[in-house]
């Protein structure tokens, strides 16, 4: 189940992928997600590297186009728990890098074939934005983004089909961090390569 939810999460994060040119301050969360959703469906259809699931292309795409809209440091810190605060800055940074690689590797397989046809964004007035990702090869995926304004609107949690990504990651990775610290979790993710 984790792998399936994780892949859906990554598809959901893909929605945040493009359109870095407009300031996040100038848009509401709904406008941001709506604009990025439109841009990413185009990218998936036209970028051969994304369509074919190239891990290198996905990693580049994630770093350039997704991470500016995700409060990734807070997400990882929340997942890891107390071990995060005990880790050195170098250990935290190494875990952030390895976590991004883990995301990109999993994300590559979820993009293969350009399965996304469109993304519907529901009207909202708050910082929680609901979307539906329509696909060629299956039922639509319900994805809800929780955003906060911390130097611009950024996603701090994603809910895929009713399952919080932070909660899912916490149940998977926090026990490892509790037992082996941030360095142990980083080593675990490296071994998943």
Residue extents of the structural domains in the chain = 2-191
Percent of the chain having pLDDT more than 90? 42
CA distances from 98 to 117, 132, 183, 193 (A): 30, 29, 11, 10
Ranking 25-29, 70-74, 121-125, 133-137 by mean pLDDT, the lowest is: 25-29
Percent of the chain having pLDDT more than 70? 81
Q: In what order do the strands lie in the sheet with 153-160?
A: 116-121, 128-135, 138-149, 153-160, 163-164
Q: Is pLDDT of 89 > 70?
A: yes
3-state secondary structure of 47: coil
Q: Is pLDDT of 2 > 50?
A: no
Q: Is pLDDT of 136 > 60?
A: yes
Query: Mean pLDDT across the chain, nearest whole number?
Result: 82
Say which residue, 32 or 144, is predicted with more confidence: 144
Domain 2-191 belongs to what topology?
Nuclear Transport Factor 2; Chain: A, (3.10.450)
Q: Is pLDDT of 25 > 80?
A: no
Question: How far apart, in whole angstroms, are the C-alpha atoms of residue 98 and residue 106?
Answer: 12
């Amino acid at each position: 189940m984790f792998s399936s939810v994780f892949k859906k999460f990554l598809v959901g994060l893909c929605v945040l992928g493009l359109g870095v040119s407009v300031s996040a301050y100038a848009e509401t969360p709904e406008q941001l997600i709506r604009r990025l959703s439109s841009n990413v469906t185009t990218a998936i259809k036209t970028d051969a590297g994304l369509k074919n699931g190239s891990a290198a292309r996905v990693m580049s795409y994630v770093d350039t186009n997704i991470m500016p809209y995700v409060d990734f440091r807070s997400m990882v810190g929340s997942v890891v728990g107390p071990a995060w605060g005990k880790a050195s800055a170098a250990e935290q940074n190494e875990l952030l890098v390895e976590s991004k690689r883990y995301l990109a590797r999993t994300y590559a397989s979820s993009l293969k074939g350009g399965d996304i046809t469109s993304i519907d964004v529901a009207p909202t007035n708050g910082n929680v934005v609901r979307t539906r990702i329509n696909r060629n090869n299956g039922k639509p995926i319900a994805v809800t983004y929780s955003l906060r304004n911390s130097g611009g609107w950024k996603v701090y949690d994603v809910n895929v089909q009713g399952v919080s990504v932070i909660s899912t990651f916490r149940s998977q990775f926090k026990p490892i961090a509790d037992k082996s610290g941030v360095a142990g979790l980083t080593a675990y993710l490296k071994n998943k390569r």
